Structure formats: C-alpha cells, structure tokens
Chains A and B, each alone.
Chain A
C-alpha cells in the first residue's frame, strides 16, 4: 500500500498548485497540455454519465416498488411465512438492488479510469 502523507492545509492557501509538491502534483502537471485537458474532460464526462445512469436506474426501480403495490393490491396481502409482500419488497428486496447498482458502478468507473490511463500514458 502506498502511504501518502499530507500536511494540514492552512487558511488562506487557495489553489492546490500552491501546496507542497508531492506525488499527487505530477499527475496534474502532466495534464496541463491541451490534449491532456481533452482526455480529462472526456473522463469526467464519462464518469458523470455513468453516475447519472446508475442513479436514474436505481430511482426508477425504487419508484416501481410502491407502484407495484398500488397496481396489484392483492400482492400486498400475500406473503411468505406471515410477512406480507409489501414489507418484504421495501424492507428486504431493495437492498440487493442497491448493492448491485453500487457494484456495477465501481466496476465501470474503474474501467473508465483504466481507459483514461491508457490514453494519457500513450501521449
């Protein structure tokens, strides 16, 4: 594991560029060129798009849960082992959806970064 020691920033110190040079600094200066900035912008765009798509997908599923109970009222009363379906859906069923969304996001975000690294490394 890399151990990155940083010093406490002091009030009045604005830009990160003014901080003590460290390993983090090199990755910014390397991207100062116009081409570098194009790569960075495209990375930010793809990460934002990914985050928005995952968030929208999750919220759609979340909204579908109560709608399902409204549209199929019989469903709310039936249940497994005495626990009504409505409780199972919101109390248990939503958590795997959250976990799956998170896992998909982490995998794809790392992939976006790997692609950026390949592009920026070739430069």
Chain B
C-alpha cells in the first residue's frame, strides 16, 4: 500500500469511486425497504402503527433509539467539526451523549408512565387544556421540520461527493425511501429498520478508521501537523459558546420528538430506564469513532479542512490516506453508513411528526397517518432546496437550542412541578420559541461571520428565560392548576403493577 504523502494535490474528479458508492447506497436502501416491508406483516392496527404496541424488547429498542438518534450531524458533522476546531468540538459528542443522561434522570420513566403517545398528548393530559396541546404540537412540528433539513443537506452533500450526481438526488432519494417505509409499515417495521441501522452505522465508521490507523501505524507514517494545530486558523470558541452549546445539547435531547416517541414502546417505566442505560452505552461506543476520525484527519490530512469540505471529511479520509481498491471499498462502506444515518433519523422524525399531525389535523386513523407522513417530509424537502448547507453539527446544535427553549421546559416542569398551569406552559413555550427562533433567523440573515456569540449560540439565555416565564405565569395563574393534577402526578411517578421487570 502506498502512502500518498503530504503535498499531493486533492484528486480531481470524484474522490470516491462513483460506481462502488452508488452500489453502497443502493444496498442500504434495499435493505431498509426489505426490513421495513418485512415488518408490515405484523403491524395491522392503529396501535401497532403508532408505537409498536409497546412490546419491543429493551435491546432492540435501545439499538433502534441509537440508530434514530445518530444523525447526519453525528456521522459526518461531529468528525468534520473536530477536524476544524479540535478539542472544542469534543463538546458536541459529549453533549449528545450527556443529553441522554438528562433524559434518563428526568423524563424517561414518568413519560412512559403517562401513557401518552406524543408530547402534545402528554401536555394536554397533564394540563387538561386543548390550547396547550395545540401550542405543543406547533413546537414539535417546528422542531421536527428543522431537524429534517440538515439530514437532507447531509444526503445532498454525500451523494454529490461520492457519486458526482447533482445534490438534489440525495435529498429526494432519502425522502422517497422514508415515505415508502413509513407509509407501508409504520413504527413496528421502523423499529427493526432503526436497530439494523445503528449497527450498520457503527460498522461503517469503525472498520475504515481502525483499518486506517492500522495501516498508518504499519507504515510508520509521519504526522503532518500536531493535534493542537488548527488547520484553518479560525479563532477557538470562547467559554460562553461552549457553555451555551452544552445547555442546548443537555436540555435539547429530552425534548426531541423522535427520541421521546421511542419511550412509549417500552412495556413499563422501569424498562424505559433500562433501555436508556443501554442507549448510553451504545452512544458512548459510537462517538469514539468520529473523535478518532477528527484526530487522524487533523494529524495526517489537515488539507481536508478546506472551506466547505469539513463535513465530507469522513467520506474522503479513506481515499486520501489509503487510496487504491481498499480506499474505494472503505469509502463505499462509509457512504453506506452515512446514508443509513440520513434514512434512520429522517424516518424516525417523520413517524413522530406524522403521529402529531395526523392526530391533531386528520383524526388519528391509519390513512391519516400515511397522509401526515408525506406532509411531514415534503415540507422540509422544500426548505432544504431553498437553503444552503451550513456546518451540519452546528445547524443541528441550533435545533437542540430551539427544543431546549420550548418543549424541554414544559416537559420538565410538567413532570416535576405541581404548580404548572396551562397559561404558564403556553407563555413559556411561546417566549422560548420566539427568542430562540428570532436568534436563529437573525443569525441566518447576518451570516456566520457577522453573528455575535450570544446570537449564534442562544441557548444559555433563551432556556432560562423560557423556564422563568413558565414559572412566573404559572404562579400568577395558580387557580388554573387542573383538578386532576394529583392523580396525574401519581400516575407519572408510581411504579406499575404487577412488577413485570422488577428483580
């Protein structure tokens, strides 16, 4: 195997062999559709469609949660950002994982015990208010749509880099496959698809980087730059940005609609906790690999940090450092994993959005669910066509900030505070949504270079403000605490009987 060396200019044409890459995408797509349709035989009722009738085993469920959660941002964006900003970017994988810890501590078991299907179901039942339901639905659908857009951007980037086809092919392919699987099988088949995709993603990241490290060590390749050296010369993030990012990721995870809908597939509260514990293990193992990619690229291929290419680093690294047939095959494996990431996160989001849209607008039938699924994915497709891809990890970080400012406060206070009222919940969600949404719009209009840190990373002030408004307005409208509140709190926090999984 030859060592391509430092001064070699980037290869012209497609860095990844187009034919092999297209075959990889096709294999992932076919596998997804086959597993999706296989599940069709066992999903028949409305209940099956929404939450797999709550009979999914913890290991399956945990793999599915991992598969759904690890999106384009985790698969491509994190490694690219580590290449650009070094140890500062390590806060992203740490925050994504620690967010699950917060979910376990504050939300997992009570939410499962609430017996609700979706977040709007939960807030409506807890606060006895259809108005709260509508505002929550609005927040959830906004979050879901915002989160699908970077997935489609990631798909466009991958297809362009890997096959040389125009960008839109990638986004449209993801939308079509997701529509097919969701409309055909609903959640049961999605669970199997997602579980398969976690393991595919892990393999697709782990095998190439381990091979690369092995070959580099065998060749005694000389490092081109120390790990601390910044390949672009951009200034490092200040402490404010790191703290604000961490707030967004820690609190944003526990409001993500596609993450929460998974908890309803656990049979009881205790198994919801056990599932989360397994998820934490799966995420911890997964994030070792983007970190390794970032570090290896920093030391051995800092040239990949060129403007606009950092997100594609994971796709390009095997070709750059290995070349030849091995490079092509490993690149194809990475492309397959990346496609699995776009498909799984998008389908998870579409299922949860379709659940919300169909129940609120279309009456909750299976037919309504299918219509809603199409609506859930076509709108972000239009949005993805109109916008440009930013750094994937960064744009997903903003979605987390929005979730942390809207859905997270109403969930946390609804579960743990008896004094929450419908007026307080609505005021808090609107305040958080307007502040964070406003910051995102201003940031997008001004452009990345011109935005001051407090606008670029708004979570540190929007999240506390949303909490404060929710508490103050609830206090002022204390007479509106619903009469059924003690019963609901009992239901959220007391263990189910019989003791299905205890001891």
Hey, which bits of chain A sit against chain B, CB under 8 A?
A: 1-12, 14-17, 19, 23-24, 27-28, 31-32, 36-37, 40, 43-44, 47-48, 51, 54-55, 58, 62, 76, 82-84, 86-87, 90-92, 94-96, 98-99, 101-103, 105-106, 109-110, 113-114, 116-117, 120
Contacts and interface: CB of A to CB of B under 8 A. Distances in A.
Contact of A116 (B274, B360, B494): B494
Given A14-B125, A110-B273, 6 more contacts: A1-B55, A8-B359, A31-B494, A98-B98, A102-B280, A117-B499
Interface stretch (B126-134, B149-157, B307-315, B346-354): B126-134
A44 B484 contact: no
Contacts of B87: 86-87, 90-91
B424 interface: no
B284 A54 contact: no
For the complex of A and B, the 8 pairs showing the least CB-CB separation, nearest first, are: A95-B284, A15-B484, A14-B128, A51-B105, A91-B291, A90-B90, A113-B495, A2-B500
Interface in B189-217: none
B449 to A, nearest CB: 26
A99 to B, nearest CB: 6
A33 B356 CA distance: 36
A114 to B, nearest CB: 7
A55 B499 CA distance: 27
A8 B498 CA distance: 23
B277 interface: yes
Nearest to A47: B493
B416 A44 contact: yes
B384 interface: no
27 contacts: A1-B500, A1-B501, A4-B54, A4-B267, A6-B115, A10-B364, A14-B124, A15-B488, A16-B114, A16-B491, A23-B497, A28-B487, A32-B487, A40-B486, A43-B493, A44-B416, A58-B98, A62-B98, A91-B90, A98-B98, A98-B284, A101-B101, A102-B101, A105-B105, A109-B273, A117-B499, A120-B494
A94 B133 contact: no
Nearest to A86: B87
Interface string B273-299: 110110011001001100100010000
A24 B280 contact: no
A27 to B, nearest CB: 6
Interface string B459-503: 000000000000000000000001110111111011111111110
B419 interface: no
B106 interface: yes
Nearest to B485: A15
Nearest to A106: B273
B406 interface: no
Contact of A15 (B102, B482, B494): B482
Most B-side CB within 10 Å, residue of A84, A86, A95, A116: A95
A58 B105 CA distance: 11
A40 B125 contact: no
Contacts of A44: 416, 489, 493
A94 B101 CA distance: 12
Nearest to B365: A8
Nearest to B110: A47
B105 A55 contact: yes
Contacts of B497: 23, 27, 117
B47 A8 contact: yes
Interface string B39-54: 0000000110010011
B494 A48 contact: no
B495 A117 contact: yes
Contacts of A105: 104-105, 273
B486 to A, nearest CB: 6
B176 interface: no
A9 B117 contact: yes
Contacts of B106: 51, 55
Given A15-B482, A27-B494, A99-B284, A1 B489 contact: no
Most B-side CB within 10 Å, residue of A102, A106, A120: A102
B487 A17 contact: yes
Most B-side CB within 10 Å, residue of A8, A19, A90: A8
